[in-house]
Chain A
Amino acid sequence: MFYVKSLEHQIVLQPIHFGPKLYATIKRLVKESVEGVALPHYGYCVKVLGVDDDNVKAGVIEYDTGDVCYTVQYEALLFRPMKNEVLDAVVTDIMSLGFYAAVGPLKVFVHMSKMPADMNGEQGGGFDGNAWVSADEEVKIEEKCGVRLRILGCTADDGQFTAVGTMNDEFLGMIDTGDEVNAF
């Protein structure tokens, strides 16, 4: 889910930055340190939409170092995978246990038990080394193809979200063979 939220961030600046460009530096640093990072609870920060000069609070000088710590409020566009959310993803890695698909920065793992029964070997089909193929060989999930998934759960750690998804539901499954992409 994408949403916009106002968040806070602390920037520690060395005195060298104090000058006419102070605010510009703070804003730049906020962008640099926050954009593209997975914030726990909030999700991936896709973009910092804006930092108001008014929202930069007066800094606090740190003892011993002389650095100044600014608390900055900023508006961010966030991407947070929600449980039971249905997302379109691009398959990135095929493994014998399932496959990984990417939704932008988010990696989703789909285990073989979460694939339709005619694909995970229960009723034919299965893993052929490079792809997951259905029993009738109509559906072939390989790298770069598009799939629609439902998120079963996700965790945030180490600056990254990882999720587990399922393809075992109505309207879920392969939606794009990825041939157009493969052509290039």
Chain B
Amino acid sequence: MSKPSADLFGSDSDSDSDAPAKKPVATSSANLDLSSSDDDSDAPPASSKKRSTVDDSDSDSDVQSRPTKKPKNVENFFEAEAEDEGSEREYTEAERQAEELDANALAMMREQDRRRQEGGSTFDRNASVEDVAESFVARHRREAERKRAQGTGISGSDFDRSNVSQQALMPGVEDPKVWMFKCKIGQEEALVIQIMNKALASAAKGRPLGITAACAGKSRGIIYVEGFSEPLCNEAVAGIRMLMIYSQKILPINDMTSIMEVTCKRKPVKDGQWVRLTRQPFKGDLARVERVLQDGNRCVVKYVPRIDLELLRMPEEKAKQRKKTGPKPRKRFYNRTEIGDAGGRISTGKLPGFTESYDFFDNQLFDADGYCIREVSLGTQVVPCEEKRSNLPTLEEFQDFRKKSKGEDGVEEELEENQEGTLIDELSKLQQAGGTSNEEQGHGISLGDTVVVVEGDLINLKGKVLQIDENTVKVAPLDTSIGISEVEFLVGQVRKHIEIGSHVKVLNGRYSGETGMIHNIVDREGEMIAFLMTDMTSKEVSVRVSQLTVSSDISTGQKRLDGYELFDLVAIAGERSRNEVGIIVKVGREEFDVINQAGNVIQISPEQMRGKRNSNSLRATALDFGNLPVRVGDSVNVLDGEFKNKSGTIKHIFRAFLFLHSQTMSKNSGVFVVKSTVCSLLAGGRTKGSEAPKPSMGAGRQARPNPNGGGKMGKTVTITKGQWKGYMGIVTNETEQHVQVELHSRPKKVFVKLDGVKVKGDKFGPTNDDGQRANPNPANQGIGAETPYMGSATPMGGQTPMLGGQTPVGGQTPVGGNFGGDEEEENVWVPGSMDQSIDSGSVSDSSSGGLMQTGSTSALSTDDGTGAEWTPNSNFAGESPSSAAFTPSSVSGGDFGMDTPLSGISGAEGGGVKAWFIERVYVTGNDGKNYILKSVDNLSQTAMAQPVEGGAPVELKPGDCSGRLLPEKDHNVLVFRGPEVGAEGRLVVIDGNDAIFSKPEGEGEQDFKIVEVSDIARV
């Protein structure tokens, strides 16, 4: 119901939460009245009265005015207090000040309200405790989210609010009820006014009627009365004549809104107008009005028939069945001979009231051109195309309509070509008509638009439209230097102007509602045509500039068909495909394009779908490459396969399949399918608009595993400290310092500090019994201590066929031992660490890079350019190319592999491996020659080496080298171990055991570094 109408009537039907709030108002205004009775100024009582009435009417949740209500009352109270104590003169002074303050304060409060509205937090005093609690939870959740997604600056709450708030406005059981009364037709408005008068009169008497509203809707002979109780309502209408009180009926809650529904008046159709049929099997088909019948409610239309010739060949039973459930027959022109051949019986028939005779077949009439002729009623059987913009016929439809059935002679075809021209004319006429009826002017110009002058002295002048009259527009030139504030032009003299690169929305025509970016504008015979790249599907459309408006909206593609929408996850029916689902990537007129989980695009009709699976998908989680759970709305990067290195937002999840959406892909509306295990979560992934993660994900939402926390989620651990020492369990949740462990032996979840647990395995089975691996404490560990590294190392176990493949990873500990004593462990150089400092979100990525180097057995090691994930082209904005140079992949790999305690794969050949066996390093071979190591293969521990003196490259193993070539002054050196590991620079001097080298500028604050000579190698 329309709430404002309730203001007319005082209501005594406050819900109890409001009642106490009103009391102080009454007392304070009473105070005021008393104190000011001896004062001449009428203002305070008047204003207070006004306020109190506002308060009364406010009782039924007028959200807008509520927040300002309270403070006013408080001020009133203070005013009153001040009056009581002060003298007369002081009172007026104080009052003036108070009023001033009032105005300022009100302005400020408005400003604050606005800001809060924008920020999305509504702090409503009258909300129940639960609501407030809820809002607090939501607020903190939002904050936590923001913290996670720091730097992206975009939160996804807008989407949620706009959708839900509309629902919240619907009447519920707590709202007043509506009774309807029958009355004499034509008297509805008079009766409502009578009731209003009665309400005013009784309110003046101090006994307000107990109803909240009365109104007359669109239905004839019925008025509606809204109130909280039936007796009060009866009382309100008692004594009103011409109202049939006995006909009182309560309106179901669901029907209440329909009272206020506005239906536009149906325009009469004209001959030759285009309409659409609404009944099956012609639903949506284009038809043309041939003749309007007398009353204007019926007309004769002509359309392309859908004749199913198959029916004629079938036995009657089957034909009946097919007619009911079979597919929609194709559009085809009626052909007498064809039907005669198929065995159909054709007779002659006439339209009632007309003399022309038509062919009569299958209860339908056909004219000589093959069209079907039928008399229909307007509104129920056909709707005019102009009524809705989206209904406008397309060129293809026109062509279909005009096209002659096959087998016509050449003359006819020629005629057709001529028709093409007229078709386009007709189309543009229609579109233009659609434009003019809804716009102020035929040029699509509206207030505030930028226009450019196309003829006259002021040609090429650009300006903003200030005013539009019948056929003139007032324009304020953009260039203020010419000294004219406004100029008037004829409408024909100006043209809408939109810059290339603007983001626009199409207002009308065939692409109505589409949004996109203009990449080109061309002048086609005086008509400016803009080419758009659409947001949704990344396709190119051309539209007249006059049909565009600058807008930052992004169309979500409001296309629906039979309740299905673009990007819905649907289950696909069919015997072969039991568990087939797909995501809708294109909504056609009759069918959808759907990508199934195998990545194939199939065309299916709504009948072939078994409903939506969106809600399942929203609840679902899948595990990414690093075993981090991913949900709908997250951004992920694809690590392998066809879509390698693409990133996208998860639209839907089905089991282990992710349906990703990428703005930059043009195929299939940007949707593609990948397995979740080849994706890595981009924490804080930049999501836009509707793709933003929905805050309400129900049970699925729990504390996200902290990306830095080690990724212990779902792993089996033993507890090594505290009360639960010795127990084993599965990690169900984790924070930065704690993990929640669900114990195997007891139905209990316990919180344990991170360093008090030891990883024993994951869901793929037990992992190596190596406590150090799980120990996330960086202080006493070397490289292995980098937890993200660890985190993703474990999944590797899952992917390799041999668990032994993990050992090299686990074995890093001794390397750590080398550095164990050093203080500055933060500097430990890990392949992924570079990324971390730049973007903590890239954890899983960076670690995957590291993983591929060490764990050559990984299934993913097909990716030989291991750096690929963290080269500057991946998604981490801040990363500069220089950092790539910093982390030549195999450097680290070699480092790890070599110092391992020789177990598993690398153990067999790791004997003579040295830490300096790294790419680019100068070494001395056993043959006495000096080499530069070119490419180091970690799997086989061999390197291609280029002799320094020149000659063909040879293959070297670590055992083939007697040692690294000691650097001398001015040589470039690389630190391969120690706290400065990874640093590079130019050697300045060697002083005993210490080497001093200068770091390249810009790498750090210190230009000089001192390290042990044994830790550096020449590069």
Contact = CB atoms under 8 A, between A and B. Distances in A.
Contacts of B491: none
* Those 4 A-B pairs whose CB atoms lie nearest each other, nearest first: A153-B501, A157-B552, A93-B664, A164-B501
Nearest to A162: B517
B904 interface: no
A155 B516 CA distance: 11
A36 B873 contact: no
A111 B519 contact: yes
Given A35-B151, A95-B665, A153-B501, 18 more contacts: A12-B119, A64-B70, A65-B116, A92-B664, A95-B538, A97-B540, A109-B533, A111-B531, A154-B501, A155-B503, A158-B154, A158-B689, A162-B503, A162-B517, A163-B501, A184-B868, A184-B871, A184-B889
B881 A100 contact: no
B1004 interface: no
A20 to B, nearest CB: 23
Nearest to B147: A32
B519 A109 contact: yes
Given A64-B67, A92-B873, A100-B664, A155 B519 contact: no
Contacts of A158: 154, 552, 554, 688-689
A25 interface: no
B499 A153 contact: yes
Contact of B865 (A62, A97, A154, A184): A184
B112 A62 contact: yes
Contact of A63 (B71, B153, B540): B71
Interface in B52-69: 67
A108 to B, nearest CB: 9
Contacts of B116: 62, 65
B871 A181 contact: yes
B500 interface: yes
Given A64-B125, A92-B664, A152 B877 contact: no
A155 B865 CA distance: 37
Most A Cβ at <10 Å: residue of B500, B689, B867: B500
A112 to B, nearest CB: 9
B520 A114 contact: yes
Contacts of B503: 155, 157, 162
A93 B503 CA distance: 20
Interface residues of B, number: 48
Contacts of B125: 64
Interface residues of A, number: 45
A135 interface: no
B330 interface: no
18 contacts: A12-B115, A62-B116, A65-B123, A90-B872, A109-B533, A111-B520, A113-B519, A114-B519, A153-B500, A157-B503, A157-B552, A159-B153, A164-B519, A180-B881, A181-B871, A184-B871, A184-B885, A184-B889
Contacts of A64: 67, 70, 123, 125
Nearest to B552: A157
Contacts of B518: 153, 164
Given A92-B664, A113-B520, A181-B884, A36 B500 contact: no
Interface string B116-135: 10010001010000000000
Interface in A84-98: 90, 92-93, 95-98
B940 interface: no
B608 interface: no
B664 A111 contact: no
Contact of B873 (A32, A98, A143, A153): A143
Interface string A96-140: 111010001100010101100000000000000000000000000
B112 A69 contact: yes
A64 B132 CA distance: 13
B693 to A, nearest CB: 16
Contacts of A13: none
B502 interface: yes
B517 A155 contact: yes
Interface string A147-184: 00001111101111011100000000000000011001
A63 B664 contact: no
B666 interface: yes
Contacts of A60: 108
Interface in B483-526: 499-503, 517-520
A144 interface: yes
A37 B71 contact: no
A166 to B, nearest CB: 9
A97 B552 CA distance: 22
B598 interface: no
Nearest to A165: B501
Contacts of B533: 97, 109, 111
Most A Cβ at <10 Å: residue of B71, B154, B520, B865: B520
A177 B877 CA distance: 21
B109 interface: yes
Contacts of B520: 111, 113-114
Contacts of A6: none
Contacts of A55: none
Contacts of B552: 155, 157-158
Contacts of B871: 181, 184
Contacts of A100: 664
Nearest to B550: A155
Contacts of A159: 153-154
B666 A96 contact: yes
Contacts of B884: 181, 184
Contacts of B877: 36, 104-105
B210 to A, nearest CB: 32
A90 B873 contact: yes
A12 to B, nearest CB: 7
Nearest to A178: B873
B150 interface: yes
Given A60-B108, A162-B517, A33 B872 contact: no
Given A36-B151, A64-B125, A105-B877, A181 B517 contact: no
Interface string B525-552: 0000001010000111000000000001
A180 B688 CA distance: 32
A80 B500 CA distance: 17
Contact of B500 (A35, A62, A97, A152): A152
A95 B531 contact: no
Contacts of B119: 12
Contacts of B112: 62-63, 69
Contact of B881 (A36, A151, A157, A181): A181
A34 to B, nearest CB: 8
A31 B732 CA distance: 35
A35 B151 CA distance: 7
A117 to B, nearest CB: 15
Nearest to A65: B123
B735 to A, nearest CB: 20
Interface string B833-866: 0000000000000000000000000000000010
A104 B878 CA distance: 9
B873 A181 contact: yes
Given A143-B873, A155-B501, A98 B519 contact: yes
Contacts of B881: 180-181
A140 B506 CA distance: 35
A54 B758 CA distance: 52
A100 B884 CA distance: 23
A160 B210 CA distance: 54
A152 to B, nearest CB: 5
Contact of B150 (A32, A65, A105): A32
Interface in B869-883: 871-873, 877, 881
B594 to A, nearest CB: 22
A62 B517 CA distance: 40
B67 to A, nearest CB: 7
Contacts of A37: 153
B873 A144 contact: yes
Nearest to B67: A64
Contact of A32 (B71, B151, B688, B888): B151
A109 B873 contact: no
